[in-house]
Structure 1
Amino acid sequence: MSPLPSAGVAATDIDPFEDSVLLEPYDVYRSWRDAGPAVWSTRHQLWILARFDEVKEALLDHETYRSGKGVGLYPAANSALEGTVLASDPPYHTRLRRVLAERMSPRGLRALQDDVEASAASLVDSLIEERTFDAVPALAQKFPLTVVAKLIGLPDGDQGQLLEWADCGFNTFGPGNERTVRSMVKFGEMFEYIATLDADPGKLRPGSMGREIYEAAERGEIRFDQCGRLMAAYLMAGLDTTISSITNAVHLFGTFPDQWDVVRADPARIPHAYNEILRIESPVQAFRRTLARDVRLGDVLMREGDAVLLLYGSANRDERHWDEPDRFDVRRRAGDHLALGFGIHNCAGQGLARLEAHALIAALAGKVARFDVGTPHRHLNNVIRSIESLPLSLVAERSR
């Protein structure tokens, strides 16, 4: 690990995980981007990469920026997730991704499309009748929870704590702050539950993704003790990131009604609009890597063994890459955003997340003329940028 950086290298004592930064991160991110290609964190003894080009290059160069030692800052959490798709390197990482590659492929997801779209339409119809509600539990949480629980194949009645487990799981990727330590208890409960599935995989619905993981172990493709960790990673990624992006979509469209009008006038823009939502409010704000060799970025020399924090949320607002990056514009071609990772560590479940979000936005676009949003209450998580409560009234097409 590097000691203090050499003279002339930018350093910061601002903690990216403190409450004030989690609430309003973007001015701090801009100051780090302006400071240089890499900034030394005196608080956490690691390098911060905040610019688009440097973060993208780090994600592409998985042989240098390694994930196997953990993608978080808390050692106990890194140990718990060791050997998952998040915290592994090739060739082991490749073998894990292959287990569910077909199911997560566009062809595999097409089998879910009709059900997902029907569920989205039904939910929107019921919420239009209700008209005023909290968008987070009633819309953003309810929809992906139903989809993911069915996909994983969990027994009926076993869904109750999934949301809390997923939230706590991402919290444990932070440093050893109060959020991390508190969340480790719930994180342990998730693995205790998964241990019951290890003992009886037959509890999982036949043909489900969860059952497929255990069947891969029976075929010798992965070790049996890896099944639970693999399922935990998919549970976490399949819930919190999707919930965050759906909530952000509603908040953004309510705040910028002209952008909602553009989507309603041309639903073919929905995929572009969703990319812009992911770009401007990235659900995952940061993950860590560990250097396998020395790397020079401009005048900055980072040493082998150094920890590096990749700020996705900052890269996606880098004015060196994006025109007017703080402006929400659904006409923007934002497909090269880094919100879902890049390279071999791109989000394995991103196809499912897109399927869910596109279906829900399309269902809303067909029937909702306007979102009247109240003041959002931010939920503080070490990694996920999310909203805890968002008062919402739907103004249906017929009410205009």
Structure 2
Amino acid sequence: MSTAPHFDIDVPAFWQDPYPTLARMRKQAPIAFVPQLGSTLLCNRDDIFVSEKQIDVFSSHQPEGLMNRLMGHNMMRKDGDAHMNERKAIFPAVSPKTVRSHWTAQFEQHAARILDELKPDGVVDFVQAFALPFSAQCLKSITGLTNMRFQDMNAWSQGMIDGIANYVGDPAIEARCHAATSGIDAAIDDMVPRLRKTPDLSLLGVMLQTDMPMESVRANIKLAISGGQNEPRDAIAGTVWALLTHRDQLTLATSGAVPWLQVFEEYARWISPIGMSPRRIAKPWTIRDVAFETNERVFLMFGSANRDEKHFDRSDAFDVRRDASKSIAFGAGPHFCAGAWASRAMVADVALPAIFNRLKKLRLIEDKPPRIGGWAFRGLLDLPVTWDV
């Protein structure tokens, strides 16, 4: 265990809103051991920005970690050459060039079809009506698992992210995670013969053209689903909510005064959909007066880093005019999110402009405020809205 001071948290309250607690930690104990999570948390942006690059100390290789045990050994849990070799293998599927030339048009088709089917019959939950199916349909295309229902894509993603954030050891959550990974394995098995015969630019199609072992192919598809569904889903719904509660900033976006990409980047800073990344201490290490022991678990708190007052003025405020370039919502080191370009295209290039162009006078329901939760993964649970035909 590290020599960091102990900092107790109220776990349910932390799930409801982690930011007040994280602000206190940044001020009182920016490196702290939290007994309720069994981990030492790094909360300052500078500590995280430096440490994430020190893979010889803050290792992603966690043989006993929840992700390895529940989803298989994917590239996110590998370092050095092992990580880079698998990252290079998937790059043709998610490169900026492929996203521009191949995926964006498909994203636009998915968005148009879903929006065409939407009707403002009273109150509409925009998470369920658009953000969820759009994200899932896009991810079906990118992964190559076009044989699954979008509802299953979402449910299986949620089952896995709940499982890998299950630090309290709830057996029911673990069981749902196992059910999700079994469903994904069956979908992969169904698609492999088709994609071996007719390769495409999907993640599964690209990996099957390499010498990557099948267990690694499966693990990396599960990785893509675990983050590739909830992050754009939550970012789309969350950014819509943020703009509808900051109408002056919505005007800046719809008028073109502020680019949609800048809007998305500010939301991802303000409420990071992926708020934490775990690491294993690979060798004894010291940061200032805190000493770490080999094999202890550390959480890099991206959600806290992105509200660090040293780097972001009025850090608790959503402001699309802000320079959010120091945000590390997609990571900062060699594990920078490989799907970042696809996510930016889905949210900023396609979803947000389409939503506000198509749904006239989109607005919140005054007596039905949206619910939000999570700290390792954070997003709206619902978003009640309506609009004019």
TM-score, normalised by the number of residues in structure 2: 0.90
Q: How many angstroms apart in 2 are the aligned matches of 1:347 and 1:355? A: 14
1:298 to partner: Cα distance: 2.3
Q: Deviations over 1:272-304 (max 9, x none)?
A: 111001000100111211112333222222233
Q: How many angstroms apart in 2 are the aligned matches of 1:117 and 1:197? A: 25
Is 1:298 the counterpart of 2:288? The answer is yes
1:77 to partner: Cα distance: 4.2
Q: Deviations over 1:153-176 (max 9, x none)?
A: 224454442211111211122244
Q: How many angstroms apart in 2 are the aligned matches of 1:133 and 1:76? A: 36
Partner SS for 1:161: helix
Is 1:135 the counterpart of 2:118? The answer is no
1:121 to partner: Cα distance: 3.8
1:224 to partner: Cα distance: 1.9
Q: Which residue of 2 aligns with 1:362?
A: 353
- Of 41, 54, 64, which residue of structure 2 is paired with 1:61? 54
The worse-fitting range, judged by mean Cα deviation, of 186-195 and 315-324 is: 186-195
Q: How many angstroms apart in 1 are the aligned matches of 2:109 and 2:17? A: 37
- Of 5, 8, 19, which residue of structure 2 is paired with 1:10? 5
- Of 256, 264, 267, which residue of structure 2 is paired with 1:266? 256
Q: Which residue of 2 aligns with 1:85?
A: 75
Give yes or no for contact 2:41–2:300 (8 Å, CA) kept in 1.
yes
Q: Which residue of 2 aligns with 1:194?
A: 184
Instruction: Structure 2: state its 5+ residue gaps.
Output: none
CA pair 156-46 structure 1, distance change in 2 beyond 3 A: closer
Partner SS for 1:361: helix
Partner SS for 2:104: helix
CA pair 343-247 structure 1, distance change in 2 beyond 3 A: same
Q: How does 1:171-320 map to 2 (within 5 A)?
A: 171-177=162-168, 180-197=170-187, 199-200=189-190, 201-203=192-194, 206-216=199-209, 219-220=210-211, 222-266=212-256, 269-320=259-310
- Of 16, 22, 25, which residue of structure 2 is paired with 1:23? 16
1:390 to partner: Cα distance: 1.2
Q: How many angstroms apart in 1 are the aligned matches of 2:107 and 2:71? A: 30
Is 1:348 the counterpart of 2:348? The answer is no
- Of 325, 339, 344, which residue of structure 1 is paired with 2:315? 325
Q: Deviations over 1:222-250 (max 9, x none)?
A: 11221111111111111011111111011
Q: How many angstroms apart in 2 are the aligned matches of 1:360 and 1:366? A: 10
- Of 355, 375, 384, which residue of structure 2 is paired with 1:391? 384
1:51 to partner: Cα distance: 1.0
Letter paired with 1:364: I
Partner SS for 1:14: coil
Q: How many angstroms apart in 2 are the aligned matches of 1:130 and 1:208? A: 38
CA pair 261-76 structure 1, distance change in 2 beyond 3 A: closer
Q: Which residue of 2 aligns with 1:52?
A: 45
Give yes or no for contact 1:377–1:388 (8 Å, CA) kept in 2.
yes
Q: Deviations over 1:155-201 (max 9, x none)?
A: 445444221111121112224436x5322222212332333355451
- Of 140, 150, 153, which residue of structure 2 is paired with 1:149? 140
1:323 to partner: Cα distance: 0.6
Letter paired with 2:155: E
Give yes or no for contact 1:49–1:311 (8 Å, CA) kept in 2.
yes
Q: How many angstroms apart in 2 are the aligned matches of 1:60 and 1:33? A: 21
Q: How many angstroms apart in 1 are the aligned matches of 2:83 and 2:57? A: 15
Q: How many angstroms apart in 1 are the aligned matches of 2:357 and 2:58? A: 44
Partner SS for 2:208: helix
1:49 to partner: Cα distance: 0.7
Q: How many angstroms apart in 1 are the aligned matches of 2:78 and 2:360? A: 45
Q: How many angstroms apart in 1 are the aligned matches of 2:204 and 2:160? A: 22
Letter paired with 1:142: P
Q: How many angstroms apart in 1 are the aligned matches of 2:374 and 2:81? A: 31
CA pair 326-345 structure 1, distance change in 2 beyond 3 A: same
Letter paired with 1:115: Q
Amino-acid identity (%): 21
Q: How many angstroms apart in 1 are the aligned matches of 2:205 and 2:199? A: 8
Q: How many angstroms apart in 2 are the aligned matches of 1:134 and 1:62? A: 42
Partner SS for 1:236: helix
CA pair 299-369 structure 1, distance change in 2 beyond 3 A: farther
Partner SS for 2:76: coil
CA pair 107-157 structure 1, distance change in 2 beyond 3 A: closer
Q: How many angstroms apart in 2 are the aligned matches of 1:349 and 1:250? A: 21
CA pair 311-142 structure 1, distance change in 2 beyond 3 A: same
Q: Which residue of 1 aligns with 2:32?
A: 39
Instruction: Structure 1: state its 5+ residue gaps.
Output: none
Q: How many angstroms apart in 2 are the aligned matches of 1:162 and 1:297? A: 41
Count of equivalent residues:
382
CA pair 95-302 structure 1, distance change in 2 beyond 3 A: same
- Of 317, 337, 342, which residue of structure 1 is paired with 2:327? 337
1:310 to partner: Cα distance: 1.0
1:33 to partner: Cα distance: 0.4
CA pair 62-370 structure 1, distance change in 2 beyond 3 A: farther
Q: How many angstroms apart in 2 are the aligned matches of 1:141 and 1:275? A: 20
Q: How many angstroms apart in 2 are the aligned matches of 1:262 and 1:352? A: 24
Aligned alpha-carbon RMSD (Å): 2.4
Letter paired with 1:169: M
